[in-house]
Amino acid sequence: MPDVVLMMGSDSDWPTLEPVIATLRELGVTATARVLSAHRTPDQARAFVAECEKGGTKVFICAAGVAAHLAGAVAAHTARPVIGIPVASGPLNGFDALLSTVQMPPGVPVATVAINGAVNAAVLAAQIIATGDNALHEKLVKWRASQTLKVLEKDKRLQEKLQG
Ligand code: RP5
């Protein structure tokens, strides 16, 4: 089993979530993705979490829209870290999913990122794994430094435009 497993409530969430897998692969973290729903495939979702636990998965990322219970349901079945991504779908544009994902009862945490926060979910998962992996920690430090450089380059280009 890969170190990180992404579970999503529907294939309609996938376009929002592709950056999870892309970012993890960029960082050299093994990852896979499955469509499994807390409401529509509860038995299969539970069985998959058990399979991942046995297979050594380190972090679960769970993404869903509307009444988004997937992350909480997964957290109920594992003591591994669970990161929740509320997805903006449906008439409330993700506000419903945000509250459903973040408001967990004490003792069963879900580390909830922003609505559609795919990249941050991936980076957070990598950071969790990096607490026991120095090589990955160094990769993350470099990744953050390259992000800084990109912003500085953008500012430089803006200053050049402004100065005509
Ligand atoms: C949620 O319902 C899914 O995560 C998705 O965001 C939303 C709509 O699902 P579909 O009707 O597109 O399958 O469970």
* Mutation probe of ligand 1 site: the residue of 7, 8, 10 with most atoms within 8 A of C-beta: 10
Task: Read off the DSSP letter of residue 105.
Answer: P
Separation between Cα atoms, residue 140 and residue 52, nearest integer Å: 25
Residue 156 within any structural domain of the chain: no
Ligand 1 atom nearest to CA at 11: 13
For residue range 57-75, list pLDDT tens digits in order: 999 999 999 999 999 999 9
Position 16 in a domain: yes
In a domain, 139, yes or no: no
5 three-state secondary structure: strand
| Residue 164 pLDDT exceeds 90 | no
Residue 53 is assigned to a structural domain of this protein: yes
- Is 12 a member of any domain? yes
Per the structure, the count of domains in the chain is 1
Is 60 contained in some domain? yes
Rounded distance between C-alpha atoms, residue 145 and residue 118, angstroms: 20
Q: Does residue 154 lie in a domain region?
A: no
Report the candidate in 93, 99, 92 with the shortest Cα–Cα distance to residue 69.
Answer: 99
Eight-class DSSP state of 32: E
* Residue 164: count of CB within 10 angstroms of its CB: 4
Express as a percent the part of the chain with pLDDT over 70: 100
What is the per-residue pLDDT across 59-118, written as a single tens digit (0 to 9) for each?
Answer: 999 999 999 999 999 999 999 999 999 999 999 999 999 999 999 999 999 999 999 999
Task: State yes or no: pLDDT of 8 exceeds 90.
Answer: yes
**Which residues form the domain of 53?**
4-132
- Which atom of ligand 1 lies closest to the CA of 12? 12
Helix (H) or strand (E) run with residue 65 in it: strand 59-65
CATH code, 99: 3.40.50.1970
The average pLDDT across 134-156 equals 98
Edge-to-edge order in the sheet of strand 82-87: 31-35, 4-8, 59-65, 82-87, 111-112
In a domain, 91, yes or no: yes
Asked if residue 65 has its Cβ within 6 Å of ligand 1, the reply is yes
User: Which atom belonging to ligand 1 lies closest to the Cα atom of 39?
Assistant: 14
